[in-house]
Chain A
């Protein structure tokens, strides 16, 4: 194991609390692990309170309540209240499913700072198809209610080949709904999105056109709406500085209490990610094998090891290196310096091929039945 330099460990700043894997939606690009149904156990309310306290004490301040659909947890208002008391800035990352005005007010009173509502597309038909649930009209109502109740309203739309042609309409919808922030998240190909990549990855032409539309709109709404544009790294020649560096900033706790340096790290072999039922957050963050695995630069192979940009992007994403090259120590193949960069080119070509085919293989929707195929 490399990177066990414990001298310069910075404390966590962001805590992602994945309260549950349960979700009424079935988005085919879900970032949850494919075999999520293998981990049905969930932390208790008291467990979560302990985790929140310990992480806060170390310096975590941004808190995301996520999932699955966090609203399926009946103790959400209690956890929000507890988090507020500790001084967290708490974000609810939700599909909006099951959210009504009463709940929105209840959560506001409990101290929730903001609600991020995801919408799958700008039209009812496509939204409901992608979500695998009739949800479009309700999501729009929820967005209005969030706004009317004094929360900053963050709209999140995951972008991929099925909806990228709606970029202009998505932007107009966000403006009409009065979003304070619009997150245009180009799909990152992990978990279910990796499985469905051939059907989700846009062509370069589609991507460039959509980006141009988004940039023009950004200028138009400057001062009213902030647009966060999450880049699709397949079309970059340098990898993203994933997680701001392994074990430097982000801490994810999965529903069953497993602590992860990033929400996809569960897919990596041999990390032995620790559970909050066995260790304190401080022990996990500072001492565990998993959190020290890719800290620093000592673990790197070539071409990263001698690269003058290694402190800028940290070799890119470990999960992407593993998924696409089979070796998690490799440079992220998105990097044009990577000897495996051709796998990105091949993925782009494979996706392009399916766009040209009249009959496509169907998207695999994220649900328990599909998940059970991925473990025995």
Chain B
């Protein structure tokens, strides 16, 4: 299962991404499980709203954090997210 660079990415409807006040972090919730996210992973997943492909997500995040050179890290994480079923492509 590989990431298609052209297709938009959306967060899986079988999971829920949510801010946890008690833990002061974002988490992914799914049947009988929870993954605690660091801030950068959470920021990437929040961009996966079905309207952007990889390139557009990179652009968006580099703009948001006024930086460059994020592509490798973002692609690496999205690949893991896809394998775990947290995100999907049509």
**A binding-site residues for B, Cβ under 8 Å:** 11, 13, 57-59, 61-62, 87, 89, 91, 113-114, 116, 150, 152, 154, 180-181, 223, 228
Judging by beta carbons under 8 Å apart, are A114 and B31 in contact? yes
Contact indicator B14/A61 (Cβ below 8 Å) = no
- Residue from the list B22, B23, B31 in contact with A181, Cβ < 8 A: B31
Q: Which residues of A contact B30 (CB under 8 A)?
A: 89, 114, 152
**Contact partner of B31 among A58, A116, A223, CB < 8 A?**
A116
**Are A91 and B31 closer than 8 Å at their CB atoms?**
yes
Given that A13-B34, A61-B34, A62-B34 are known contacts, is A89 also in contact with B22, CB under 8 Å in the complex?
no
Q: How far is the CA of A314 from the CA of B64 in the complex (A)?
A: 45
Which residue in chain B gives the minimum CB-CB distance to A152? B14
Number of residues from B at the complex interface, CB < 8 A = 17
**B49 contacts A by Cβ under 8 Å:** no
In angstroms, Cα B88 to Cα A223, docked, is 12
Q: How far is the CA of A62 from the CA of B22 in the complex (A)?
A: 13
Which of B16, B27, B29 has the most CB atoms of chain A within a 10 A radius of its CB? B29
A223 contacts B16, C-beta separation under 8 Å:
no
14 pairs, CB–CB < 8 Å, chain A vs chain B: A13-B34, A59-B22, A61-B27, A61-B29, A62-B29, A62-B32, A62-B33, A89-B29, A113-B29, A150-B13, A152-B31, A154-B32, A181-B32, A223-B1
Give the distance in Å from the alpha carbon of A87 to the alpha carbon of B13 in the complex.
16
Within B26-42, the residues touching A (CB, 8 Å) are 27, 29-34
- Docked-complex contact A58 and B22, CB < 8 angstroms: yes
4 closest A-B pairs (Cβ-Cβ)? A59-B22, A89-B29, A152-B14, A114-B31
Are A59 and B20 in contact (CB-based, < 8 A)?
yes
Instruction: Show the binding face of B for A, using Cβ within 8 Å.
Output: 1, 13-14, 16, 18, 20, 22-23, 27, 29-34, 83, 85
CB nearest neighbor in B for A150: B13
Residues of A near B1 (CB, < 8 A) are 223
Closest to B82 in A: A223
B31 x A154 contact (CB < 8 A) = yes
**In the assembled complex, how far is the CB of residue A317 from the closest CB belonging to chain B, in whole angstroms?**
19
Q: State in angstroms the CA–CA spacing of A147 and B18 once bound together.
A: 23
A371 to B76, CA, bound (A): 55
Q: Which residues of B contact A152 (CB under 8 A)?
A: 14, 30-31
* A113 with B22, Cβ < 8 A, contacts A62-B29, A91-B32, A154-B31 known: no
Residue of B whose beta carbon sits closest to that of A223: B1
Chain B residue at minimal CB-CB distance from A151: B14
Chain B residues closer than 8 Å to A13, beta-carbon distance:
34
Contacts A62-B29, A154-B31; A113 near B16 (Cβ below 8 A): yes
Q: Known: A59-B23, A61-B34, A62-B34. Is A87-B14 also a contact (CB below 8 A)?
A: no
**In the complex, how many angstroms separate the beta carbon of A88 from the nearest chain B beta carbon?**
9
- With a 10 A CB-CB cut-off, give which of A59, A62, A89, A113 has the most chain B CB atoms: A89
Q: Which residues of B contact A180 (CB under 8 A)?
A: 14, 31
Alpha-carbon distance A11/B22, docked complex (angstroms): 9
Instruction: Verify A61–B31 contact, CB threshold 8 A.
Output: no
Chain B residue numbers with a CB within 8 Å of A181 are 31-32
Q: Beyond A57-B22, A114-B31, A228-B32: 8 further Cβ-contacts under 8 Å?
A: A59-B23, A61-B20, A62-B29, A62-B32, A89-B34, A113-B29, A181-B31, A223-B85
Q: Which of B13, B16, B22, B85 has the most CB of A within 10 A?
A: B22
Q: List residues of chain A with CB within 8 A of the CB of B20.
A: 59, 61
